[in-house]
Amino acid sequence: MKNILLVTLILSNFTFATENYLGTYSTQVKEKELKDKYCKNNHKGDEFCMEYTLTYPIITKSKSSELINAINDIVKNKIEVFKKLNAKNKVLTLLSDEPDLTWSWEDKTRIKLYSTTQTTFTLAIINYNYSGGAHANRTVEYENYRIHDGQELEMKDIFKDGYMEKLTRTANRFYRESNKLLAHDSLTKIGWYGDNFILSDNYAITNKGLEFLYNPYEIKPHIAGITTFLLPYERITSIMKSDK
């Protein structure tokens, strides 16, 4: 029952990841899952398990063959990394260090095609990790790529030199407006730890703007979950490179 509740919680917290901005290309996606699980009784006879899971996308239809090829290459590399994990070795090592360990530990990763534009696509790497304690850890990391060569993009590839100060100032103003805060209002009013606006380096390129994401504990307590906001392109056109 405890594991079922945890899985339900993670799925509810990642609802935003189903609201993607696909529309530039007619793309159909199915998913495939890889799993590695091993269980062993501890010295008291109680079972301890480790389970690794990777869920990844398979593009079944798209107007862009370059998009399909780029995603397939990236996913292939991530599968190779996943295959280096070893649930049996993990369990034996942990029980050797802590013979009383019990219950089930999980590390689940889902790779989701989150958004596409004319020239880019974004993957959301959704991770759920439980290794005991009061609650699981849930994170989302965005990865942005060019379609034509599969090259991962950084902010410096999107913006003109010296962009950070203006981007942060613009994002701060827009974020406050979106949350109905006045310029002098403290961010603590909407749950932030402090009043210093921090621009996340975790962002998705969408066809509407840049979506910035903050994982639990980054700006707010765990109970607040994931925080996102979409900064429209019209707010930042002047500092973007003309070819983006």
Res 212 pLDDT > 50: yes
Mean pLDDT of the chain: 89
pLDDT tens column, 150-203: 999 999 999 999 999 999 999 999 999 999 999 889 999 999 999 999 999 999
Q: What is the spatial distance between Cα 76 and Cα 57, in angstroms, rounded to a whole number?
A: 11
Dig out the tokens for 98 from the structure: 């802590």
pLDDT tens column, 45-70: 999 999 999 999 999 989 899 999 99
What's the per-residue H, E or C state across 28-62? EEEEEEEEEEEEEECCCCCEEEEEEEEEEEEEEEC
Give the chain's domains with CATH numbers.
1-153 (3.30.565), 157-244 (3.90.640.20)
Neighbours of 106 (CB within 10 A): 19
Report the SS3 class of residue 144: strand
